[in-house]
Structure 1
């Protein structure tokens, strides 16, 4: 095959050989290559992301092997993590043996089974090969004697950027120089708030703005600037020319683009996300690659062409020989006396049973141990259950793992029933708070809002509130404007210094009092009036989405939420819809603690909307005709569970019936004890919590209000399972805050539609959260974001380490690690447990090909509990 671009080799009809077709073809190649990265949301609207969402048609094992070969990124837990889990009793070694036997059975062995087993068992101890053995004279001599027989054993690698293989005269790799340049241009183009001067020609797109400025970049040499001066004006043509100039073979173009996307997966992920948000930037990822690969060509042009030495790497047999001597109980002399064919068989077996396979076996044993222990908990026959008919109140919480301990503590204190449902409560809305001209989506990022809900107030009160709010906002804008202005910034420290110094001192030494004072001062000044919600449909031709709901939509959303909760009968006098949010100071990842699925939107607003809908007489009348009869004395209220302090804050409490008032008073009475116990349980897991403290509530508030606290809470760390079933299945089980809990009654789901919706929505979200934590734990250098203390918030978009790193896409070290050497999060793939007959699960797998792929390819694990209470692994 000749060395040329795919575009010049593709046979096109004469009428198709035009710019539009070429652009479409290049964009198609870029879109195919983008499967190796995931969209990255701005950190202010943080959303958990599955970094491998585009690779799920391949097995987890295949992706793990590919990443190790192409990027040297290992996505199996490290040996130290595995051994730590083993020492803590989290792994039953009986399952290690089961997984080993399964692996041996799946491979054709050319050596005796007992010899293979002995070797594997010794290697599974995960100790390292002795350095004195690897460097011994005898081993090197043996290697020289037999090396000629094994030179054909190579590992093939996907195409990497050519700049990865070239160094400049100072010994610095060109790929690192290229990354530095690309990061600079990405920051300039994507900046949302930090730059004093915006990038010229930014409105014309990334490539055009770069192309106008690159000719004057003093960071490049004159010949490099000259090379790009007459470069094509269009991004797709520039990308095409760069690929042709570097002689990238047709068969490797997509892989070559993938290599460049994986070089800076954070910045490229942000470009991918932006390209999906508007038609104006739909080709942004193509522009990004055009900039990057054009710059690569300019940097390495003097070194072209290269020999094709980068495509394979021979495997050294030193470690293979040493492994047989160390783990196989063979001497060097015994190995040297083998026939060449036998030697090759032994070395091939050692090559197959490599470190990645060993850690895969341990991971699967770890996961199976967790599955086995969970099944013992929730299939126990000696567990008391609540009587739904006697529940004084029913409280619906988000499925978030942080809700589980709080729900458990609530249920201990009285006849209360708790329910699990996705925390946006099925409402596809964007919310607009009082006095704001802007709205933000309040639902998982995988969905788009269909309605806008506004807060409103009495006109006179609203006008006064807006004036006060404008004064506060103007002060902030003025401060930021002065910071960015060259002259004003010289005066700013003199004006703001005393106040900021005082604030710094008080927040450092008396954080709770300082934060409470500042918060009270703001609230007292603003004095937000009582508000109403715009639930009724308003016709607005200028609005992108309608304001409010039609009468039919009100009923539909109320019905849908009640069915998803399994709450269609036996209503308690008080039903509380509980959103969740958090509070922390000086925390770039604050949005991740509010909701990891909804882009940092807390669930309280949605809770208030749903409660208001369910209280509407007309909605209740229609629901009653469908068999969902809500008693007249049943009242819906809304609250928010503050996860950092484990408190329940009331958001909407309408006029209560006598029975509902009794329930409300009971919840208020027990809440201090519930909060105390939940805080004590949760805070005990934090590494710097002092167990001797007698007031967990005060300590929880300190964590939330101290601006030097790098770990206000654990978030969703240690999440491991998603249980879909009735609360009776898990009631009185201590699930350790590790389980997402969603109510589901298969008896009310004859068609299977409810289960399908739970898997497609919350099931996807929980998997994303699980793999976000998994990736940030096993490969923190690539998928995490490092130490919070050394992070730099950049461009108003995200964090970097230093001033020229990738845009870090994952969780910080403090979200997953107990200490520098001890992981807190257990990197286990999500176990989905469905309480339903086998035929329900079979129907789900048959109808949902995407979910079936996830299960078959090892991205999630699946189990079910049938109507007799028997557990089955799938």
Structure 2
């Protein structure tokens, strides 16, 4: 027995667990440091109503990529690289050449220990699946003893509790303890829940009742009682978190705002405490069956695992070189295309008839090429889809504000939506109508899902839905109003929009000085400070799908999983404001009087582009707008033709009709391919990439370093859009290499939990993270092929180095191989490859053009 005096906190109650001999338990300070580190190992999971792409390896970037592969295996029981069959097929199909393997081997740290022949021989064999066995937990030990899969049962118990605790309106009986911290709420529920006894854990309630009162104390106590050695502490905690990784990820998302404000997140520690409590429960329950001895042996067998994180064996080194070679093949193709394009004639220097600014999203690359082909004197630019406006948007009749900016930023201004051209009385009346419609909808859903009516609902009302179901299934349904219309007639819904000034004292609005600041930052950020066209279109983007749990993941990631409509409309209003133009002129940016900015929304499912607020534009520009709309229509046709090759339409099908049908089909698992295929990020003037077909695989950010004398814009690009693009790239990477661990599985089996928290695959298990398998695989092959992001910056190397040196976390990202960095100079031909520690390899590059600064 363990007395109260044996507890690390003598005032706390303790569980009856015998301390295991043979290992030195970690000190209190070490435990606290390990807990802080464990929190950072978990990538946050945003809820479905504003799902955003997240790097699932966010907590690993302080380690080199190749070492993280071992950590992923030990802590997450997952893979960070593809099976060798994938690389063999890439070589046989020509997607990778032997010269790429040779190049990767020569640049690898393993080039001196592995010969080309040995590598090619290893390519023909699959790796040993048992080479890196996942770390053992107490649940694993108990499973071996009892024959029960305790790990799966623990996941079910935690998931059942968490879905009620975090519920966002779906549960009929949510947790009655939601006002408490998660750990305390769990203890309260567990003390009256008899399910553990049914599972065969007779002493579970007694053990839980005797646990320390705070999660921090429980973690410290449990680690001491289990005698987890200091050398194993980091991996063991990571292993426990990964075992309930979905709910832990959601817990970190709940604390994300605290982290941005510089506070320490707490809820991840709560869930870690719950998982550790289950370890204590199982060890006590199995104590008489030799669990302690088996656990001690498991601990001792894994003590050397920390060393294994640093040393790669030959098989693992071969896998790393193959992945490098596969990525080098894409880089080689991009480098050659940039060099070949340098000989193309420059675009005409005459004033463009129109300029179209799109989000840097890879889906925009296809449409931008099509627009430039449809109108030779049209210039396209790339910029972050929130247009540099970190807004918190209050929709009309909305129940809360929505952040419309990247999740790396905190909203700085609050903006109110209103109904333009209508009286305050009419606006209020429509607001009440929206609220009533929402309440009626919530009541109807509650009736359908209630514990009693759900059993008779289908029998009673099923026939009333027969026509609707048939129409949806056969693709015969009429287009439904966009959700943003919120039940209003289309003519009124089109007048919904953001307001610069407060409406009836509601909202904060944006003052003139702030508008000038935003306008200056916006134009400088997209390197559009001169040469303005008569019409400048600012296009956000969004997607249109039906019955799609991850629908917001297809909207703009730069807008926090919202469409870019509000940001684009607000940006156009600011830039059209005469006092803002005056303020810009004083800061050295003269926008011609005949230049107008018009907001637009690019529907990435259908490649249709809708223009907004045209009634606010002068009559003198009606002809320009009409020409632009014609060019957008023609460009949409070309873009749809290109995208249709990946969407498997029937021969002869009209792409527009087929894509619109897909967007309305409730059973469609692939309404569009999203950002599948993303591989590169290029920050450069458009002339460097204008004539290159990048196949919708590159993020394109407009940047001219000659307009950026202090390189502040380059710093912003590298520290924000480039990082966001790497998050997207690595989310697709993780969902491809191991969808079970870093993706969300089979989309057809998804069940939404908690209203909008996330999805379960089937009727239980952990909350799923990442992308569905259908988002990266077409049923026969991977449409997204895993590559770390290759970044090409048209800027002096010395400027890039200064920025990396200023931002240690950014340098860590490139030094440790989580993205690949190249420097591209003015003519597109000169490419230098970043090697790490602010060193560059110019072996593939020609001499830099005259006047360009080198490192």
TM-score range (shorter-chain normalised) is 0.7 to 0.9
- Partner of 1:453, secondary structure, is strand
1:525 and 1:413 map into 2 onto residues whose CA distance is 30
Equivalent in the alignment of 2:40: 35
Two-structure CA RMSD over aligned residues (Å): 3.3
1:68 to 61, 70, 73: 73
Say which of 447, 451, 472 aligns to 1:482. 447
Deviation track 1:204-259 (CA, whole Å, cap 9, x = no partner) reads: 22222221221222221232222223333333333333333333335544433222
Which stretch shows the higher mean deviation, 209-218 or 578-587? 209-218
Q: Write the distance in 2 (CA, Å) between the matches of 1:104 and 1:530.
A: 60
Matched-pair contact (CA < 8 Å) for 1:507–1:515: no
Per the alignment, residue 383 of structure 2 pairs with 421
Deviations 1:454-493 (A, max 9, x none): 1223213213322432332122021123235445556755
Aligned twin of 1:217: 193
The aligned counterpart of 2:170 is 194
Distance 1:508 1:824 in 2: 25
Q: What does residue range 377-392 of structure 1 map to in structure 2 within 5 Å?
A: 377-380=337-340, 381-387=342-348, 389-392=350-353
Rounded to whole Å, the distance in 2 between the matches of 1:834 and 1:567 is 18
Residue equivalent to 1:171? 147
**2:133 & 2:709 partners in 1: Cα distance?**
50
Partner of 1:310: 298
Give TM-score scaled by structure 1 length. 0.84
Q: 1: distance between equivalents of 2:692 and 2:347?
A: 13
- Aligned 8 A contact 1:43 1:588 in 2: yes
- Number of residue pairs aligned between Structure 1 and Structure 2: 791
**How big is the shift at 1:268?**
0.9
Q: Once the 2 structures are TM-superposed, how far is the Cα of residue 657 of structure 1 from its aligned partner?
A: 4.4
Question: Which runs of 5 or more structure 2 residues have no equivalent in the other structure?
Answer: 11-26, 303-310, 835-855
Would the aligned equivalents of 1:156 and 1:313 in 2 still touch at CA under 8 Å?
no
**SS, match of residue 470 in structure 2:** helix
SS in 1 for 2:722: helix
* Corresponding residue SS for 1:177: helix
Alignment partner, residue 84 of structure 2? 79
In structure 1, the partner of 2:846 is none
Out of 218, 235, 246, the position equivalent to 1:238 is: 218
The CA deviation at 1:384 is 3.7
- 2:534 maps to 1:548: no
> For residues 473 and 134 of structure 2, what CA distance do their matches in structure 1 show?
51
Distance 1:497 1:69, change over 3 A: closer
Q: Please, what TM-score do these two structures have when normalized by structure 2?
A: 0.86
- Residue equivalent to 2:698: 739
- Following the alignment from structure 1 to structure 2, what is the Cα–Cα distance between the partners of residues 740 and 489? 47
Change over 3 Å in CA distance of 1:487–1:92 after alignment to 2: closer
CA distance in 2, matches of 1:762, 1:352: 33
Question: C-alpha deviations, 1:643-695, integer Å up to 9, x for none?
Answer: 00000011222544466322211112233321111111012112x322x2241
Partner Cα separation in structure 2 for residue 241 and residue 517 of structure 1: 53
Partner in structure 2 of residue 300 of structure 1? 283
Residues 422-480 of structure 1: per-residue CA shift (max 9 Å, x gap)? 00000010112223342200011111111111122321321332243233212202112
The separation in 1 between residues aligned to 2:194 and 2:160, in whole angstroms, is: 13
Partner of 1:466: 431
* Alpha-carbon contact 2:355-2:378 (below 8 Å) kept: yes
The one of 661, 664, 681 aligned to 2:625: 664
How many angstroms apart in 2 are the aligned matches of 1:119 and 1:670?
Answer: 55
Please name the residue that 1:14 is paired with: none
Q: Structure 1 unaligned segments of length 5 or more: list them.
A: 11-21, 132-153, 315-350
Task: Give the equivalent residue in structure 1 for 2:848.
Answer: none
Between the aligned partners of 2:593 and 2:177, the Cα distance in structure 1 is: 62
Residue 721 of structure 2, aligned match among 762, 770, 778: 762
Partner of 1:528: 493
Give the deviation of 1:376 after TM superposition: 1.3
**Distance in 1 of aligned mates of 2:352 and 2:582:** 24
Which piece of structure 1 moves more, 834-843 or 193-202? 834-843
| Cα distance in 1, alignment partners of residues 730 and 264 from structure 2 | 28
Q: Kindly state the Cα deviation for residue 387 of structure 1 after the two structures are TM-superposed.
A: 2.7
Q: Is the 8 A contact 1:81 1:823 kept in 2?
A: no
3-state DSSP class of the match of 2:293?
coil
Q: Deviations over 1:780-837 (max 9, x none)?
A: 11101111111221222111212222211111111111225x2111111101101123
Q: 1:284 to 1:802 in 2, by over 3 A?
A: same
Counterpart in the other structure of 2:409: 447
Tell me the SS of whatever aligns to 2:633. Answer: helix
Contact 1:388 1:570 in 2 (8 A): no
Give the distance between the partners of 1:43 and 1:655, measured in 2 at CA.
35
User: Is 1:839 matched up with 2:798?
Assistant: yes
Deviations 1:135-165, CA, capped at 9 Å, x for gaps: xxxxxxxxxxxxxxxxxxx989886422222
Inter-partner Cα distance in structure 1 for 2:434 and 2:159:
37
Cα displacement (A) at 1:173: 3.2
For residues 168 and 224 of structure 1, do their structure 2 counterparts lie closer, same or farther at Cα, with a shift above 3 Å needed? farther
Q: Offset at 1:274?
A: 1.4
Q: Contact conserved, 2:351 with 2:532, CA < 8 A, in 1?
A: no
Deviation at 1:533, TM superposition (A): 3.5
From 53, 60, 76, the counterpart of 1:55: 60
Answer whether contact 1:76 1:356 (CA < 8 A) is retained: no
Native 8 Å contact 1:70 1:160 kept in 2: no
State whether residues 388 and 417 of structure 1, in contact with CA within 8 Å, keep that contact through their aligned partners in structure 2. Answer: no
SS in structure 2 of the partner of residue 628 of structure 1: coil
Alignment of 1:702 with 2:664, yes or no, is no
Structure 2 partner of 1:865? 824
SS at match of 1:863: strand
In structure 2, what is the equivalent of residue 713 of structure 1? 672
CA distance in structure 2 between the partners assigned to 1:517 and 1:48 by the alignment: 23
Change (3 A) 1:387 1:360: same
Give the stretch that moved more between structures: 185-194 or 698-707.
185-194
Deviations 1:479-526 (A, max 9, x none): 123235445556755764344333222211234426479999944389
The answer as to whether partners of 1:5 and 1:244 remain within 8 angstroms in 2 is: no
Q: 1:522 to 1:803 in 2, by over 3 A?
A: same
SS at match of 1:576: strand
| Offset, 1:716 | 0.2
